[in-house]
Structure 1
Amino acid sequence: MDNFIVSARKYRPATFETVVGQQHITNTLKNAIKNNQLAQAFLFCGPRGVGKTTCARILAKTINCTSLQPNGEACGECPSCKAFENGNSFNVHELDAASNNSVDDIRSLIEQVRIPPQAARYKVYIIDEVHMLSQAAFNAFLKTLEEPPHYAIFILATTEKHKILPTILSRCQIFDFNRIRVDDMATHLASIAGKENISYEPDGLHIIAQKADGGLRDALSMFDQIVSFSGGKVTYRSVIDNLNILDYDYYFNITDSLLAENTAKGLLFFDEILARGFDGAHFIAGLTEHFRNLLVSKDQSTLKLLEVSEGIKNKYLQQSQAASVSFLLSAMNIANQCDISYKLSKNQRLQVELALLKMCHLPSAFNMATTPLAATSDNDGSLKKKPDSPAIAPASAPKIINETGVLSDTPLTYNRTPPQQPAAAPAQAARAVEPGPVKEAAPAAAPAEKPKIFLPTPRLGGLSIPSLTDTGKTEEEILEEEDPYLKGNDREDFTMDDFLRCWSDFAARVKSEGKKNLVTIFISNAPRMIKPYVFEILVGNKVQETHFREERPNMLNFLRSTLRNYDIEVNVRVDEQEVVRKPYTAIEKFQHMAARNPQLMDLKNRFNLDFD
C-alpha cells in the first residue's frame, strides 16, 4: 500500500503561475527576477496557509535556475532545479525560527553565510516563523541582514508582523499576502477533484472554502477529510454533516417564517437546530450573516460581495425581493444586540427566542408606521379611516346657534382660517340673533376682517357669551375672556407672600438636588417685582447669571404650575454697582471702633500702644 500524501503537500505549487490568489506578489517577484533587481532580504507576512513559505521556495528555485523561461518561471529541468526538487540542494537553507530562536542559532547561520554558493548564483536562506526569534537573536542578525554578501539572499516568513523589530522591517522588502478568496479556493479544489477523479457538487466546495476562512491549506485538509468521509463523493450534504455546519435551508426557512409572521414555525426551527447540537450564539451569528447577504443581494453593484455558489446566490436573490431593506436592517440590529448580550445572559435560549419574536413582528410594526391615518374597525370587520378631529375639542363643548337660528351639535373650534360665508346673508338670520332693526350683512370677501360668530346672549353650556354685534370682538377674544383655561393658560392672582413662599420651596428643592451654586443665588437674593407678574433678581457676577439661566426653565415651570399663572416671568441681571470689598485692616478696625468710643484713643495714647 503506497504512502498517502495529503493534498496540501501533493498539490503544492511549484511555479509562480500555480500559486492561488496572490498574483500581485508573484508578478512583482517575476519582474524583479527578469530585471535582475532582487533585494537582499524579503519579508513575507500574512495569515496561515496562504502561500508564504511556498512562494519563498519558488523564489529560491527560480533565481538559481540556469534555463529561465521567458515568462520568468523556472525550467524544472536544469541541475539546480532538480537538486531543489529532490531536496539535496546546497544553496537553499531553511531554518525554523520557532525551534531555533536563540543567539547561538543565529551565529551558526551567520557562519554559514560566509561560505559562497556551489554551482549557483545565489545562496538563499529561508527563515520561517521569524517572529519567534528572541530579542538578542534579532540584534545579532541585524548587521548581517543589512550588509550581507552579494550572493546571499534572506527570505523571512511570519504570520505576526507586529512582533518583528522595526530595525528588521526597515532592512527588508515587505510583501503582504492576502486571504484567498472563496471563489479562487473553490476553483482550485475543483481542479484537484478533477485530477483525483472525485465527483463533487459546487455548493459543497463553496462550503469548504467558506469554512477555511481564507486559508488554502485548511481548505485542502477539509477536502481530504470529506473525501474520506463520503467515499470519494464531495456533496453538499456530506460537507455540512461532517463539518457540523448549519444548512443554508435553515436560514432561508426561518427568514420565510419571519416575513410571514409565523412565530410558532420560527421557534420550532430554532428548537430543531438546538436538538442537532448547535449553539445559540453560532445560530444567531449565522442568521446575522444571512440577513447581510440578503441586503447585499438587493443591489447589483453589491452582488459581488456575496461569496456563495450560483445555486445559493439564486436563492438569495429570490428571497431578497420579499424582504424590505427596513426589515433587514432592523432584524440585523436585533440579532446583533442578541449576540452581544448572549454570553452574559443566564437564560441564553430565551435571548435568541426573544430576538426571533421581535423580528417576527417587524412587518406589522412597519405597516402600522406607514399607515397615513389611524384606522378603526367597523362592525363588519372592515377598516375605515377616522374622521378628521377638530383643532381643539373641549371636553364639554357648548352647542352654538348657527346663522339660521338652529341649535347645532358642532363644537366650538378655534381655526384662524375664516370660514367661507355665503355671498348674501339673509336678513332673518340677523333678526334671530338680536331683535331690532335689520342690519346689512358685511361683504363676503373681506380678507382683512377677522371671522365673526353670531351668538345669543343667554348662557350656552355654562358659558355666558355676549352678542358679537354688541362687542365687536372676535371669537377668540370672547372665549378667552369668559374661559381663560381654554388655551391652557392659568391667570390666577397671587400675593407677594405667596410668590416668596413658592420661591423658598423651589430653593429647598434645588438644595436637595445638591446644586450648591444655585442655592446661593436663591437664598441670598430675593426677587423684586418690576410690573405685574414680572420679577427681577440681581446676581453678583456672570457665572451666577449663567447658572441661573440654565435653571430658569425648571424654575418658571415650578412657579407657574404652583401659582397657576402662566404669565409669570423672572429675569436675571448682573448688579454692576456691587463691588467686592477688601477685608478691613487693623488700623481701619481701630478707627471705626474709636469713632464710636473715644476712650479707646485715650487708652492707646496712655499706654503707648501700637498695632501688630
Structure 2
Amino acid sequence: MENFIVSARKYRPSSFQTVVGQQSITITLKNAIKNAHLAHAYLFCGPRGVGKTSCARIFAKTINCSNVGDDFEACNECESCLAFNENRSYNIHELDAASNNSVDDIRTLIDQVRIPPQIGKYSVYIIDEVHMLSQQAFNAFLKTLEEPPAHAIFVLATTEKHKIIPTILSRCQIFDFSRIKVGDAVKHLQHIAEIEDISINEEALNVIAQKADGAMRDALSIFDQIVSFSGKTITFENVIQNLNVLDYDYYFKMVDAFLQGKVTDSLLLFNEIVEKGFDGHHFVAGLSSHIRDILVGKDVATLQLLEVSDSVKEKYTEQSKKCEVDFLYDALGILNECDIHYKGSQNQRLLIELTLIQLSQIVESKKKGVSLKKNFRRLLKIRVEGHASAPKTAGAKDKAPIHPQQEAHKPVSKSSVQASQSISHTSSPNHPSISIKAAMRRGIVNRPASSSKKQESNLKEVDTKYTGVQNKPYTVESVVKKLKEYAISRKKSERVRLAIASCEAEIHENGQLAVKVCNQIQVDDLTIVKNEMVNYLKRELENSTIDFVIEITQTVNKKRLYTDTDRFKYLCDKNPLLEQLKQKFSLDFE
C-alpha cells in the first residue's frame, strides 16, 4: 500500500512562484537576491499557515544555488539544491524554539554559527516560533544576531510578534505575512484538484477557503478531509454536510421572510436549522454576516468585498435590490443586540425568536410610520389580549382561536404562559380591570397629582366612612398624632410618610381644620390620599364632622441647614450641653 502524503506537505511551495498570496514579500526577497542586498537577520511574522517557514526555506535554498535563473529562482539541479531537496543540506539549519528555548540551546547555536558552510556561500539558521525563547535566551542571542559572521544569515519566524523584545526587533528586517484571500485559496485548490483528478465546483471550494480563515495549510487539510468523505466527486452538499456549515439558501430565505413580514416562516426556518444541530449563536453571527454582505452588494464599488463565488454573488446582488438601506441598518442593529445579550440570556432560543419577530416587523413599522419597539409591543399585546378575551364555546378546548401569524408572535416559554393566564384572570367579568387612578389614591403608585380643585373633587373615597352618631371633641395635637399613626399603619409611600411626619395642624377662626406641609409636592401627595385620611380621622377620633384643608406653611427668612456646622449650631441652640461635650472630648465632624 502506497504511503499517503497530506496535501499540505505534498504541495508545499518549493519556489517563490508557488507561494500563494504573498506576492509583495516574494518580490522583495527576489530583488534582494538580485541586487545582492542580503540582510543578516529577517523576521517573518503572521498568522498560521500563510507560508512563513516555506518562504524561509525557499530563500535559504535560492541564495545558496550556484545557478540562479533569470527569474531568480533556484535551479534545482546544482549540488546545493539537490542536497536541500533531499533533506541532507548542511547549509540550512532549522531550530524549533518551542522545545529549544533555554540559554544552553542558544549557546550551542552560537558555537555552531562560527563554522563556515562546506557548499555554497551562506549558512542559514531558521528559528521557528522564536517568541517561545526565554528572556535569558533572547539576551544571550542579541550580540550574535547583531554582528554575526559574514556567512551567517538568521531567519526568525513567529505567529506572535508582540511577544518578541524590542531589542530583537530592531536587529531584523521585518516582513508581515497577510492572511490568504479566499480567491487565492480557491485558485490554488482548483489547481490541486486538477492534478489529483478530483471533480469539485467553485462554490464548494469557496466554503473550504472561508472555513480555513486565511490559512492555506488549514484549507489543504480540510480539502483532504472532504476527499476522504466524498471520493473523487465532491458536491456543495457534501462539503456543507461534512463541515457542518449552514447553507446560503437558509439566509436568503430568511431575509425574504423578513421583507414580506412572514413571522411564521422565519420561525419555522429557524426551527429547521436548530433541528439540524446548528448552534443558535453561530446562526445569529452568520445572519449578521449575510445582512452585511447584502449591504456590500448594493453598491458596485463595494461588490468586490464579497468573498464568494460568482453564482452566489449574483444572488446577493438580486436580494440587495429588494432591501432598503434603512432595513439593513435596523437589521444589523437588532442582530448586534441579540449577539451581545446571547450568552447572558437564560432562554437563548426565545431571545433569537424574539429577534426574528422584530426583524419581520421592520418593513411594516416603516410603512405605518411607527417605531419598531412600539409596533413590536403592540403585536405582543394583541397576541396576549386575543388569548385572554376570546369567547369560549361549550365543549370547546380552553384555548382561543388565534390567527396563524399572531400565533408566531407568542414566545414559547413558561413565563409567557403564566403572564397570559394572569392577564386572562384580571380581564374576566368577575375580576374587573385594575384602575391606575384607584391605585394612586391608595398610595400604590407614587406619582404626584395635580393640585387643581377639579381633580381633587373627582377623587373617590376608598375607605369606609365613619357612621357613628356621637361627635367627640378633638385637638390639633390629636389630629397630628392620628395622622402619623395612619402613615405607619397603612404602609404608605416614603413621600407620603415624610409629608405627614413634617406636617402641622391648626384651627382657623372660622373653625376650619388645616393641615400644613412644607411645599406644593407634599400638598399633591396628601391630596391623593386625603379622603382616606379624613375617614381614618373620623373613625379614630369618633367625630363624623372632621374635615381639613391642605395648606403650605408660610415661612419667612427661614435659614436652611446645609452643612454639618449649621446643623450642630442649630442643635446647640436647643441644647447648650452639646457644645460642652464637643469641647471636653475634642470631637469633630466626619
2:84 corresponds to: 84
In structure 1, C-alpha distance between the alignment counterparts of 2:210 and 2:106, rounded to whole Å: 40
In structure 2, C-alpha distance between the alignment counterparts of 1:161 and 1:193, rounded to whole Å: 34
Q: 1:562 to 1:86 in 2, by over 3 A?
A: same
Displacement of 1:213? 0.3
1:37 corresponds to: 37
Displacement of 1:325? 1.0
Displacement of 1:71? 1.7
In structure 1, C-alpha distance between the alignment counterparts of 2:209 and 2:347, rounded to whole Å: 34
Asked if 2 retains the 8 angstrom alpha-carbon contact of 1:205 and 1:234, the reply is no
In structure 2, C-alpha distance between the alignment counterparts of 1:278 and 1:126, rounded to whole Å: 43
* 1:43-96 alpha-carbon deviations (Å, 9 max, x no partner): 000000000000000000011111111222111111111111111111000001
* Larger gyration radius, structure 1 or structure 2: 1
Displacement of 1:119? 2.1
Question: SS of the residue aligned with 2:42?
Answer: strand
| Letter in structure 2 aligned against 1:13 | P
| Letter in structure 2 aligned against 1:187 | K
Displacement of 1:333? 1.0
In structure 2, C-alpha distance between the alignment counterparts of 1:561 and 1:95, rounded to whole Å: 82
Question: SS of the residue aligned with 1:265?
Answer: helix
Question: SS of the residue aligned with 1:49?
Answer: coil
| Letter in structure 2 aligned against 1:114 | R
Instruction: Say whether residues 1:122 and 2:122 are aligned partners.
Output: yes
Displacement of 1:161? 0.6
Question: SS of the residue aligned with 2:175?
Answer: strand
In structure 1, C-alpha distance between the alignment counterparts of 2:70 and 2:24, rounded to whole Å: 19
Question: SS of the residue aligned with 1:149?
Answer: coil
2:258 corresponds to: 258
Displacement of 1:102? 1.1
Asked if 2 retains the 8 angstrom alpha-carbon contact of 1:125 and 1:153, the reply is yes
2:279 corresponds to: 279
Displacement of 1:559? 11
Instruction: Say whether residues 1:52 and 2:56 are aligned partners.
Output: no
* 1:11-64 alpha-carbon deviations (Å, 9 max, x no partner): 111111111000111111111111111110000000000000000000000111
* 1:142-194 alpha-carbon deviations (Å, 9 max, x no partner): 11001100110000000001111111111111100000100000010001101
1:344 corresponds to: 344
Asked if 2 retains the 8 angstrom alpha-carbon contact of 1:92 and 1:126, the reply is yes
TM-score (norm 2): 0.64
1:138 corresponds to: 138
1:122-521 → structure 2 map (5 Å cutoff): 122-369=122-369
Asked if 2 retains the 8 angstrom alpha-carbon contact of 1:335 and 1:355, the reply is yes
Instruction: Say whether residues 1:112 and 2:112 are aligned partners.
Output: yes
2:16 corresponds to: 16
Question: SS of the residue aligned with 2:369?
Answer: helix
In structure 2, C-alpha distance between the alignment counterparts of 1:156 and 1:248, rounded to whole Å: 41
| Letter in structure 1 aligned against 2:110 | I
In structure 1, C-alpha distance between the alignment counterparts of 2:304 and 2:370, rounded to whole Å: 32
Q: 1:556 to 1:131 in 2, by over 3 A?
A: farther
| Letter in structure 1 aligned against 2:139 | N
- Write out the 4+ residue segments of structure 1 that deviate beyond 2 Å after TM superposition: 555-563
Asked if 2 retains the 8 angstrom alpha-carbon contact of 1:52 and 1:177, the reply is yes
| Letter in structure 2 aligned against 1:259 | L
Consecutive unaligned residues of structure 1, counting only runs of 5 or more, are: 372-487, 493-511, 514-554, 564-612
In structure 1, C-alpha distance between the alignment counterparts of 2:37 and 2:521, rounded to whole Å: 80
1:582-601 → structure 2 map (5 Å cutoff): none
In structure 2, C-alpha distance between the alignment counterparts of 1:556 and 1:40, rounded to whole Å: 85
| Letter in structure 1 aligned against 2:269 | F
In structure 1, C-alpha distance between the alignment counterparts of 2:161 and 2:265, rounded to whole Å: 49
Displacement of 1:370? 8.2
In structure 1, C-alpha distance between the alignment counterparts of 2:20 and 2:262, rounded to whole Å: 45
In structure 1, C-alpha distance between the alignment counterparts of 2:40 and 2:520, rounded to whole Å: 79
Instruction: Say whether residues 1:2 and 2:5 are aligned partners.
Output: no
Asked if 2 retains the 8 angstrom alpha-carbon contact of 1:46 and 1:178, the reply is yes
In structure 2, C-alpha distance between the alignment counterparts of 1:69 and 1:369, rounded to whole Å: 71
| Letter in structure 1 aligned against 2:295 | L
In structure 1, C-alpha distance between the alignment counterparts of 2:25 and 2:92, rounded to whole Å: 21
* 1:233-260 alpha-carbon deviations (Å, 9 max, x no partner): 2221110000000011111111111111
Q: 1:167 to 1:260 in 2, by over 3 A?
A: same
Question: SS of the residue aligned with 1:206?
Answer: helix
In structure 1, C-alpha distance between the alignment counterparts of 2:520 and 2:329, rounded to whole Å: 43
In structure 2, C-alpha distance between the alignment counterparts of 1:194 and 1:243, rounded to whole Å: 22
Asked if 2 retains the 8 angstrom alpha-carbon contact of 1:185 and 1:209, the reply is yes
Question: SS of the residue aligned with 1:88?
Answer: coil
Question: SS of the residue aligned with 1:43?
Answer: strand
Q: 1:558 to 1:330 in 2, by over 3 A?
A: farther
Q: 1:251 to 1:49 in 2, by over 3 A?
A: same
Question: SS of the residue aligned with 1:56?
Answer: helix
* 1:247-285 alpha-carbon deviations (Å, 9 max, x no partner): 111111111111111111111111111111111001111
Question: SS of the residue aligned with 2:95?
Answer: strand
Percent identity of the aligned residues?
Answer: 61
1:561-576 → structure 2 map (5 Å cutoff): none
Asked if 2 retains the 8 angstrom alpha-carbon contact of 1:61 and 1:81, the reply is yes
Asked if 2 retains the 8 angstrom alpha-carbon contact of 1:131 and 1:161, the reply is yes
Displacement of 1:2? 1.3
| Letter in structure 2 aligned against 1:347 | N
1:102 corresponds to: 102
In structure 1, C-alpha distance between the alignment counterparts of 2:202 and 2:369, rounded to whole Å: 43
| Letter in structure 1 aligned against 2:123 | K
| Letter in structure 1 aligned against 2:9 | R
In structure 2, C-alpha distance between the alignment counterparts of 1:249 and 1:204, rounded to whole Å: 14
Question: SS of the residue aligned with 1:157?
Answer: strand
| Letter in structure 2 aligned against 1:57 | R
Displacement of 1:558? 9.9
| Letter in structure 1 aligned against 2:344 | L
* 1:542-598 alpha-carbon deviations (Å, 9 max, x no partner): xxxxxxxxxxxxx999999999xxxxxxxxxxxxxxxxxxxxxxxxxxxxxxxxxxx
Displacement of 1:103? 1.1
1:26 corresponds to: 26
| Letter in structure 2 aligned against 1:128 | D
In structure 2, C-alpha distance between the alignment counterparts of 1:327 and 1:219, rounded to whole Å: 35
In structure 1, C-alpha distance between the alignment counterparts of 2:144 and 2:173, rounded to whole Å: 16
* 1:429-459 alpha-carbon deviations (Å, 9 max, x no partner): xxxxxxxxxxxxxxxxxxxxxxxxxxxxxxx
In structure 1, C-alpha distance between the alignment counterparts of 2:525 and 2:151, rounded to whole Å: 93
In structure 2, C-alpha distance between the alignment counterparts of 1:188 and 1:108, rounded to whole Å: 40
Displacement of 1:317? 0.7
* 1:500-543 alpha-carbon deviations (Å, 9 max, x no partner): xxxxxxxxxxxx99xxxxxxxxxxxxxxxxxxxxxxxxxxxxxx
Q: More helix by proportion, 1 or 2?
A: 2
Question: SS of the residue aligned with 2:9?
Answer: helix
1:74 corresponds to: 74
Displacement of 1:331? 1.0
In structure 2, C-alpha distance between the alignment counterparts of 1:305 and 1:562, rounded to whole Å: 66
In structure 1, C-alpha distance between the alignment counterparts of 2:524 and 2:30, rounded to whole Å: 84
In structure 1, C-alpha distance between the alignment counterparts of 2:520 and 2:6, rounded to whole Å: 82
Question: SS of the residue aligned with 1:301?
Answer: coil
In structure 2, C-alpha distance between the alignment counterparts of 1:159 and 1:313, rounded to whole Å: 33
| Letter in structure 2 aligned against 1:50 | V
* 1:295-349 alpha-carbon deviations (Å, 9 max, x no partner): 1000111111111001111111111111111111111111111111111111111
